[in-house]
Structure 1
Amino acid sequence: MRVFVTGASGWIGSAAVDELLAAGHEVTGLARSEASATALTAKGVHVRRGDLDDLGSIRAGAEAAEAVLHLANKHDFSNPAASNAAERGAVQTIGDTLVGSDRPFLFASGVAIPNLGRAITENDAYPFHGPDAPRGGSENLALEFVERGVRTVCLRFAPTVHGFNDHGFVAALAAIARDKGVSGYVANGDNRWPAVHRSDAGRLVARGLETAPAGTILHAVAEEGITTREIAEAIGRAFSLPVASIAPEDAQEHFGWLGGFFGMDVTATSILTRELTGWAPTGPGLIEDIDAGAYSALAAVTE
């Protein structure tokens, strides 16, 4: 199958591309830089130059493909409006291009649904609609294309997709801990984050492409909820730092843009995903990864 992938050289995208290639698919990746293009070419991936603001390139990539994986996101937490607008524009463009084709359109979303009071499942609808909503309301926008002849599949990733060379939330928490001289958690640290290893996330993307019917929501979640105190303690061990509670009113000052996220209590299951696709996570858990040096090794490389 000819598959067009945005975010093909990214953290999750590169793992997904490896799985697609191993399964015999022909992959074209969107690359915004020469370095990304070179890395993709070395893998045997065709390259289409462009970024999330280049809707013409995204449209052309979707037109030429038999399936589309949209895994890119600006993740600009200093300007969320720009990130949301780019995400919505890309989803709208891909969906419009695939209308009436019954071609697969898999896209990245997240499991954070606020104030649910229980673990999030694949049957829970996102409450975010419209361009001003988080991620530009892109999950609900993409799912609207099911009725227009697109095999849309939503990939909800855990907030922590971890592993060696991860530059995401846990890497940011580790950097904050080293800068502050203390590994912190908010309040009593009982709030939880789901997690999944990068290799498992990549395998689920490939399985979803091959098995998931239109309108399916898949959860890339291996661990339903790890307390933020456990995460902070593991970071403390990794860098020989003290561990301390940060008062909720001080979280924004201590953690910066990550303060609101790290104070959330989010749990999610993947029972339905596993039953539907046969996916079974095999990678190490988050605490195991931290203890194995995944984030202290990254810090040593960047120093």
Structure 2
Amino acid sequence: MRVFVTGASGWIGSAVVTELLGTGHQVLGLARSDAAADRVAALGAEVRRGDLDDLDGLRAAAAAADAVVHLGYNHDFSRMAEAAQTDRAVIDAVAGVLAGTGKPFTIASGVLGVVEGRPATEEDVPEAGGHPRMVNAKAVLDHAAHGVRTSVVRFAPTVHGDGDHGFVAVLTGIAREKGVAAYIGDGANRWSGVHVKDAAVVVRHAIEDAPAGTVLHAVAEEVTTREIATAIGDGLGLPVESIPAGLAMEHFGWMGRFFGADLPVSNAITRERYGWKPTHPTLLEDLAAGHYFRG
């Protein structure tokens, strides 16, 4: 298939482009800057210059493709509402072009806020009025009724590997700054992860095999936040300590809200339906390898 990928130069996008090219697909990657274009071209993909606000350009690229993977997103937490509006506009534009074609259209989402008190499954649909990105994911699934083979890939909060600059890198930076690798309370809350290359395989399954209106979980493992803090402490040679919940925001800043969450997630349907089996290092193995402690 010829696959149009937004966010193609990003952390997950680069892995997805590599996975798709390595399994015989052609890739057209969206790039908004010269640097992004160079990264996409270096992966071996064709470059489409533009950004998420160029809806006409996105429609044209989607119309000429056999499948669309939408990974691009503005993760500026100070502009969450605006980011969600841009995301929804992209979703509606692409889905409108693909209506009635039966072509695959998959987007990225997350597991935070899907359900509380039990492991989230691929069959769970968040309540109305939740996080705007969850609302957008529901909108994608609804487009299945209009002849688009839509799917949503929910990623673990930590998509790890050598080069990751996400949540674990932020936690490492906080530990360096504070002189202590901390967790919140007893640190028993569960945090999920997936290696970026294993996550890319899930995205490929989404466009190749997923029925219309379905969810896949790119979640390979669960670890406790205490285990993560201990691994960071070991890697940096710092003490590991508990922070009371009431002081989490003071110690971790905005990260405290996320690191204090309990995020149990099931991947049983994704494993069984698509034969997905993670094969790359776990989060704790990546931490032990020292990727996050350079410099």
TM range (shorter): over 0.9
Contact 2:114-2:120 at 8 Å conserved across structures: no
Counterpart of 1:273 (choices 270, 273, 278) is 270
For the Cα contact (< 8 Å) 2:31–2:47, is it kept in 1? yes
The DSSP-based 3-state class of the residue aligned with 2:122 is: coil
Query: What corresponds to 1:259 in structure 2?
Result: 256
Q: Is the 8 A contact 2:114 2:126 kept in 1?
A: no
Is contact 1:76-1:82 (8 Å) kept?
A: no
The equivalent position to 1:194 in structure 2, one of 182, 192, 195, is: 192
CA-based RMSD of the aligned residues comes to 1.4
| Alignment partner of 1:151 out of 118, 135, 149 | 149
Q: Distance in 2 between matches of 1:207 and 1:231?
A: 29
Residue ranges of structure 1 left out of the alignment (5+ in a row)? none
CA distance in 2, matches of 1:183, 1:51: 38
Residue 136 of structure 1 deviates from its aligned partner by 6.4
1:54 paired residue number: 54
Structure 2 distance, partners of 1:119, 1:257, is 24
Hey, what's the Cα distance between the residues in 1 that align with 2:270 and 2:178?
Answer: 39
CA displacement at 1:200 relative to structure 2: 0.3
For residue 256 of structure 1, report the CA deviation from its aligned partner. Answer: 1.3
Which secondary structure does the structure 2 equivalent of 1:78 belong to? helix
Shift of 1:165: 0.6
Structure 1 residues 116-155: aligned runs within 5 Å: 116-129=116-129, 133-135=131-133, 137-155=135-153
Residue in structure 2 matched with residue 70 of structure 1 by the alignment: 70
For the residues of structure 1 that align with 2:199 and 2:227, how far apart are their CA atoms?
22
Moved more, 166-175 or 45-54: 45-54
Asked whether the equivalents of residues 183 and 241 of structure 1 are also in contact (C-alpha less than 8 Å), the reply is yes
Amino acid across the alignment from 2:170: A
How far is 1:128 from its partner? 4.3
Alpha-carbon shift at residue 116 of structure 1 (Å): 2.2
Q: Residues 165 and 294 of structure 1 are in contact (CA less than 8 Å); yes or no, is this contact kept in structure 2?
A: yes
d(CA) in 1 for partners of 2:131, 2:110: 14
Distance (Å, rounded) in 2 between the aligned partners of 1:251 and 1:97: 45
Deviation of 1:52 (Å): 1.9
Correspondence 1:169 to 2:167: yes
Query: How many corresponding residue pairs?
Result: 295
Asked if the contact 1:77–1:257 (Cα under 8 Å) also holds between the matched residues in 2, the reply is no
Matched residues in 1 for 2:3 and 2:155: separation?
20
On the 8 A contact 1:128/1:140 being kept in 2, the answer is no
Q: Which residue of 2 aligns with 1:283?
A: 280
Q: Which amino acid aligns with 1:213?
A: P
Does structure 2 retain, via aligned residues, the 8 Å contact 1:88–1:136? no
Structure 2: how far apart are the matches of 1:271 and 1:99? 30
**1:20 match:** 20
How far is the alpha carbon of 1:60 from its aligned partner? 1.8
| Distance (Å, rounded) in 2 between the aligned partners of 1:171 and 1:123 | 31
Q: Which amino acid aligns with 2:39?
A: A
The answer to whether the 8 Å contact 1:160/1:196 transfers is: yes
Q: CA deviation at 1:103?
A: 0.6
Matched position secondary structure for 2:276: coil
Partner secondary structure for residue 78 of structure 2: coil
Aligned to 2:43: 43
Instruction: Report the residue type matching 1:109 in the other structure.
Output: S
- Relative to structure 1, the CA distance from residue 128 to residue 254 in structure 2 (aligned partners, 3 Å threshold; closer, same or farther) is farther
Q: So what's the TM-score if we normalise by structure 1?
A: 0.94
| Residue in structure 2 matched with residue 3 of structure 1 by the alignment | 3
Deviation at 1:258, TM superposition (A): 1.0
Match of 1:204 in 2: 202
Q: Give the corresponding residue for 2:95.
A: 95
C-alpha displacement of 1:57:
2.1
- Cα 1:136–1:284 change in 2 (3 A) is closer
Find the residue that maps to 2:85 and give its secondary structure.
helix
| Structure-2-length-normalised TM-score | 0.96
* SS state at 1:173 partner: helix
What SS is found at the alignment partner of 1:184? strand
